[in-house]
Amino acid sequence: MATIPRLRDRAGKLAATFSILLWMATICGAAHAQQDRTVKIRMVDSKTGQTITTSEFQVWMNRTLGTTWVKPNKDGIGEISLPPEASVIAVHAQDAGSWFYMNCDDVKGRDSGSGRWYPVLEILATGIAAPNRCNKRKAVANPGEFVFFVRPATFWEKMHE
């Protein structure tokens, strides 16, 4: 009858080992998820809903961390790896040439300068599609994706710049 306590002891050790391995996998997975702070950015025409592939994105971080220019790929999706201290971002599109766009997440017809700020953790967890105040068209963002709407700048807006 001494074999039953030995079996219980072995089962207990096996369960403890399995529990430790499960916790280690969970912690390593969470640490990896925290380190991967890559955000995909997609700029969409406010009227047509089509992705615009010709313009760069300017990304501001935390109002004080500075700006970064992101060049989209041929599908119009730009990627940026954000530093751990970046908690909010603002994204604008500008073309280096003579034609540029105005963001539609601010009040229509008004340039507020810095624009709206979006939480990085929410972008990473669920994705954010910025509001489209230029049109009624909407978009869906996937986790890790930021989608924003733009419209072509008017003649007077171009002259003002």
- How do residues 82-119 score in pLDDT, each as one tens digit? 999 999 999 987 655 545 788 898 754 444 445 689 99
> Phi/psi of residue 57, each to 5°?
-105, 140
The residues pairing with 145 across neighbouring beta strands, listed in sequence order, are: 40
Question: What pLDDT score does 42 carry?
Answer: 94
Token look-up 């700006």 returns 67
Is the pTM for the entire model greater than 0.75?
A: no
Average pLDDT over residues 135-147: 94
CB atoms within 10 A of CB 79: 15
What mean pLDDT value characterizes the chain?
79
Asked whether residue 32 carries a pLDDT value surpassing 50, the answer given is no
3-class DSSP assignment, residue 45: strand
Asked whether residue 129 carries a pLDDT value surpassing 70, the answer given is yes
Question: What pLDDT score does 30 carry?
Answer: 45
Angstrom distance (rounded) from CA 76 to CA 32: 27
* DSSP summary character for residue 67: E
Q: In terms of pLDDT, which residue wins out, 33 or 60?
A: 60
Percentage of residues of the chain with pLDDT beyond 90 = 40
- Kindly give the residue spans of alpha helices, DSSP state H, lying in the chain: 3-35, 120-125, 155-160
